[in-house]
A and B are shown apart, each in its own frame.
Chain A
Amino acid sequence: MYAFNYHRAKSLDEASGLVAKAEDGKLIAGGMTLLPSMKLRLAAPSDLVDLAGVDGLKGITVSGKTVTIGAMTRHVDVHTSADVKKAIPALAALAGGIGDPSVRNRGTIGGSVANSDPAADYPSAVLGLGATVETNKRKIAGDDFFRGLFETALEPGEIIKAIHFPVPDAAAYEKFPQPASGFAMVGAFVARFGKDVRLAITGAKDHVFRVPEMEKALAANFKADAIAGIKLGEDDMLSDIHCSADYRAHLVTVIAKRAVAKAAG
């Protein structure tokens, strides 16, 4: 790991200012992705601004049909929250499947969402539930947030404060984990709001995406069989030593069916 300057921010304004002032500043939340990337020298920020000391970024609140999760809330807290389990059990289950217990004791929802790793679990819930990402500057719809490989709508100095998840009538997350890392080779988050259905796929392309043709079929008939015949093309699917593009395309249908079966069950 290359040397860097370390700052403990006390407020969002201070954090934003410190990042802006630095030559190549980066925010650190749980650090579960950033620190390994820095060890590999894939990332070499000049300055790290730690958000751990900023008040008001942690915690879970439910009001009406919305679950709000602070950006610095850890995976273990989402997984074990009685409120999340009651309102959106699929989200609590998703959080419990990230990394391993010691990683879940550090990793945060804001860090995961801001990173937009193509194989991360949380982005599928943000997009699948149509959540709203609240930053220190504005509110961004889940549909507009994820832009590409490790790329989001966040501007320089913009910091996620919280994520607002609408409570669905039914939802489920299923993934086909890479056996060693547990990362999703393909993950599917499906949610039904009345007659509307949203389906977000992670792990398959360079960033999380929705599948309108499957959503339409599921809106008409919320059963796994309804999408059994829908296959995605393999053109822009990821391909690596774990999984070829055509296999990933195949997995999308399989895993989406499993998610629907779980949600409909």
Chain B
Amino acid sequence: MSTKVSMNVNGRKVSADVEPRTLLVQYLREHLGMTGTHVGCDTSQCGCCNVHLNGEAIKSCTILAVQCEGANVTTIEGLASPDGELHPMQKAFWEHHGLQCGFCTPGMVMVACDIARRKPDADEQTIRHELEGNICRCTGYQHIVEAIHAGLQAMNQAKR
């Protein structure tokens, strides 16, 4: 039995008949072809699959697409401007080399933007604590934390 679901993904209205067991991340990747959101562990540990649901970071491997009926979903593809200008947090990850293999990066950037919403003045310790649900197997986190710190400052400046 399939169920109809409609949502708004990166400002675009989408609608589909899906099996209820379809996870949001499967819907994004396999139905919409948006493969920027990654599946690392599929057990809500690693955080690679983070997207924003109505503005808040959530793990898209641990929510059904049908639970997102009527919701606004933002993925990593939705952060940059339409003209290709990167989001300040994406720029910060580039400039501070906040990645190595890049697999965890979409989730890191989406969570970083969630930190910006809640704790725009987060210090290093706070950022490390906030990344509890994001695992990186390459970097040792140092450059990720530096990138987020710089990204928060850039976002704060853009607000002024």
Residues of A with Cβ closer than 8 Å to B?
1-6, 8, 28, 31-32, 35-36, 38-39, 48, 50, 52, 76, 99-103, 105-106, 180-182
Contacts and interface: CB of A to CB of B under 8 A. Distances in A.
B114 A101 contact: yes
Given A31-B67, A35-B62, A101 B130 contact: yes
Contacts of B43: 36, 39
Interface string B16-59: 00011100000000000000000000111101001001001111
B66 interface: yes
Interface residues of B, number: 28
Given A4-B20, A5-B1, A101 B63 contact: no
Nearest to B59: A102
Interface in B76-126: 111, 114
Contacts of B63: 31, 35, 106
B142 interface: no
B62 A182 contact: no
Query: Lowest 5 CB-CB distances: which A-B pairs, in order?
Result: A100-B133, A6-B20, A100-B132, A105-B56, A1-B21
Nearest to A182: B132
Interface centre among B43, B59, B134 (most CB of A within 10 A): B59
A52 B130 contact: no
Nearest to B130: A101
Interface string B59-72: 10011101101000
B59 A48 contact: no
A117 to B, nearest CB: 14
A58 to B, nearest CB: 14
A2 B67 contact: no
9 contacts: A3-B19, A4-B20, A4-B21, A6-B20, A39-B42, A50-B66, A101-B130, A102-B44, A105-B53
B23 to A, nearest CB: 8
Contact of A102 (B3, B21, B50): B50
A180 B47 CA distance: 14
A99 B62 CA distance: 13
A48 B59 CA distance: 20
Given A6-B64, A35-B62, A182-B132, A103 B44 contact: yes
Nearest to A104: B133
A52 B58 CA distance: 16
A52 B21 contact: no
B133 A103 contact: yes
A99 B133 contact: yes
Contacts of B53: 105
Given A6-B20, A100-B133, A101-B132, A50 B42 contact: no
Given A8-B69, A35-B63, A102 B58 contact: yes
A101 B111 contact: yes
A126 B156 CA distance: 40
Contacts of A105: 53, 56-58
A4 B2 CA distance: 10
A181 B53 CA distance: 23
A3 B20 contact: yes
A8 B115 CA distance: 31
B47 A102 contact: yes
A32 B20 contact: no
Given A6-B3, A36-B43, A102-B111, A31 B20 contact: no
A208 to B, nearest CB: 23
